A and B are shown apart, each in its own frame.
Chain A
């Protein structure tokens, strides 16, 4: 079966711009989580969505937002991009809430802010 699909794979943006990243979860999975991965900070939780509702949010500024659609696909948006937002953004999908369902990660979107 198809895995977690993240688009685009690579993105270059200029400071001050905004960006939207997309995540299509595994068919039947209803939970989508987003993580930011950087060499300095490692993997950090951004937010989680389940049934179109944000269930959990990490310690990121309000410039980072997301949403989930009725088909479980999710998007995250970063406004007013800063150089420090350059990172690999990972999406993970799961059947339900909680680790007992397991998380499957996509290959990520590599965002570079110049």
Chain B
């Protein structure tokens, strides 16, 4: 009930393309869904987050889409750049709690 499933495990995109990473959760008590970006040798850094009362949130080139009934959410990176090459993690938690349950991670490579 605490799992978050993330796909794909790895993704290769051409510069300027759209990167799409999907996540699904089981625990309906989750009500806060952040995405983290991690570069080699660094800790994860918060990219963007969404609550289930909205279906979409956009910040610059990054957009989260949320489907509450399907218990799925996804990250779209528009106009992907080589500098976006990193590992991306979705996560889920409760606003009343604090522990983050992470997905398995997606290694994104953007070719120039």
B97 within 8 A of A: yes
Number of chain B residues close to chain A: CB under 8 A: 23
Stretch from B14-22, B38-46, B56-64, B65-73 that touches the partner: B38-46
A42 within 8 A of B: yes
A42 and B98 contact, Cβ closer than 8 Å, known pairs A90-B43, A102-B46, A108-B43: no
Contacting residues, chain B, for A61 (C-beta < 8 A): none
Contact count A vs B, C-beta below 8 Å: 59
User: Contact between A45 and B99 (Cβ–Cβ < 8 Å)?
Assistant: yes
Q: How far is the CA of A43 from the CA of B104 in the complex (A)?
A: 8
Question: DSSP class of A's interface residues: helix, strand, loop or mixed?
Answer: strand
User: Contact between A48 and B44 (Cβ–Cβ < 8 Å)?
Assistant: no
Q: Which residues of chain B in 93-112 are interfacial with respect to chain A, using CB atoms and an 8 Å cutoff?
A: 93, 95-105
Sampled A-B contacts (22; CB under 8 Å): A33-B100, A42-B104, A43-B100, A45-B101, A48-B98, A56-B98, A56-B99, A58-B99, A90-B44, A98-B96, A98-B97, A98-B98, A99-B32, A99-B34, A99-B93, A100-B32, A103-B46, A103-B100, A104-B46, A105-B44, A106-B43, A108-B43
Chain B interface residues (CB < 8 Å from chain A): 32, 34, 36, 41-46, 49, 89, 93, 95-105
Using A35-B100, A97-B98 as known contacts, list a sample of 6 further A-B pairs with CB atoms less than 8 Å apart, ordered by residue number in A. Answer: A43-B44, A44-B102, A48-B98, A90-B44, A100-B95, A103-B100
